[in-house]
Structure 1
Amino acid sequence: MKVPWRACWWWWTVVVLLVLLASLDLTEGKRAKGRGKKGRKYGSRSSITKYKSEASAAYYNHNGGAKITTWSHFESEYVLGRKIVFMCKAMGSPRPVITWFKDGIELYAHSFFQVHEWKEGDGDIKSKMEIDPATQMDAGYYECQADNKYAVDVKGFSADYLLQFE
């Protein structure tokens, strides 16, 4: 008895492998733009290159839009019981507001978490976020978001703890 080609398990294996290979981005082994380890998005959001109208292009490319100019390193390792510090400096007109997030959730002040802000010049703002003392629960993905009425800019930071033996 001859088995039809549709019933052959190897045929379906080949089809699945071809579909998977076709969906992979094999551009010289580089990571996709804007992606870090484990596919997490970090850094600024990519800029929009196609606009529906001249008005939308003028809105997104406004000179006074919030822009983060200085920020902490992307990956940080901290020692348990010590202090974690992240910095973020932004500019814009009107002056941007800086908001801190951990794993996508906005951070609010508590006894072990503090945010210090300094206004510099006409449209600059500097923000320092501190966690002291750091625990295992503080490991995660942090974001600094600067926004005003013209734009939003986001920078991300990954933090993980180190085990120190004395």
Structure 2
Amino acid sequence: MFDDIYAARGGGRRGGSRKTGRGSSRMQIFIPRNQDGVNYYDNTNGARIIKSSHFEMDYMLGRKITFFCMAQGIPRPHITWFKDGVELYAHKCFQLHEWAIGNDTLKSKMEIDPTTQKDAGYYECQADNQYAIDRRGFRTDYVIYT
């Protein structure tokens, strides 16, 4: 069995028809999987994110930003939040709220209030259980209104 993995070279396109000034191409790469890999990655009980925030968000300095992630799996997945690849831990401006729904779903909301310029960046929520890991990413940037 083969799995599709896409690799981007030389810039590429992001969102809609907006092009960068560089040339872009996408090349499809096929990686064969053995039966153990198929059992792990295609497991029906594996953690998967079923709802999440939008990909890009602009925020006003001093206001609250909120990210949402809902994951399903058996056993119920654990959700971890990251900013620029580093796991987020509690501090005075960061709040995390989680709700268990049934035996297989976890809902997580991450808030930063008040926001500063340092809060701009790339955030991810990662859902994992013993069978799989799933991630969603969100990009933020601040705006200044005059």
Q: 1:31 to 1:50 in 2, by over 3 A?
A: farther
Deviation at 1:31, TM superposition (A): 3.0
Measured on the aligned residues, the alpha-carbon RMSD in Å equals 2.4
Counterpart amino acid of residue 124 in structure 1: T
Alignment partners' CA distance in 1, 2:84 and 2:62: 21
Q: Give the equivalent residue in structure 2 for 1:154.
A: 135
Deviation at 1:55, TM superposition (A): 2.4
Q: Give the equivalent residue in structure 1 for 2:13.
A: 31
- In proportion to residue count, which structure has more strand? 2
1:85 correspondence with 2:66: yes
Q: Give the equivalent residue in structure 2 for 1:121.
A: 102
Unaligned stretches of 5+ residues in structure 1 = 1-23, 39-47
1:95 correspondence with 2:93: no
Q: Give the equivalent residue in structure 2 for 1:135.
A: 116
1:145 alignment partner, SS class: strand
Counterpart amino acid of residue 78 in structure 1: Y
Q: Give the equivalent residue in structure 1 for 2:54.
A: 73
1:50 correspondence with 2:50: no
1:112 correspondence with 2:99: no
Alignment partners' CA distance in 2, 1:90 and 1:122: 12
Q: Deviations over 1:28-68 (max 9, x none)?
A: xx638xxxx98xxxxxxxxx8620x2222112111100000
Alignment partners' CA distance in 1, 2:31 and 2:77: 24
Q: 1:157 to 1:95 in 2, by over 3 A?
A: same
Deviation at 1:105, TM superposition (A): 0.3
Q: TM-score, normalised by structure 2?
A: 0.79
Deviation at 1:134, TM superposition (A): 0.5
Deviation at 1:122, TM superposition (A): 1.2
Deviation at 1:92, TM superposition (A): 0.3
Alignment partners' CA distance in 2, 1:55 and 1:127: 31
Q: Which has the larger Rg?
A: 1
Percent of aligned pairs with the same amino acid? 56
**Which runs of 4 or more aligned residues in structure 1 lie more than 6 Å from their structure 2 counterparts after TM superposition?**
none
Deviation at 1:111, TM superposition (A): 0.6
- In proportion to residue count, which structure has more helix? 1
Q: Deviations over 1:55-99 (max 9, x none)?
A: 221121111000000000000000000000000000000100000
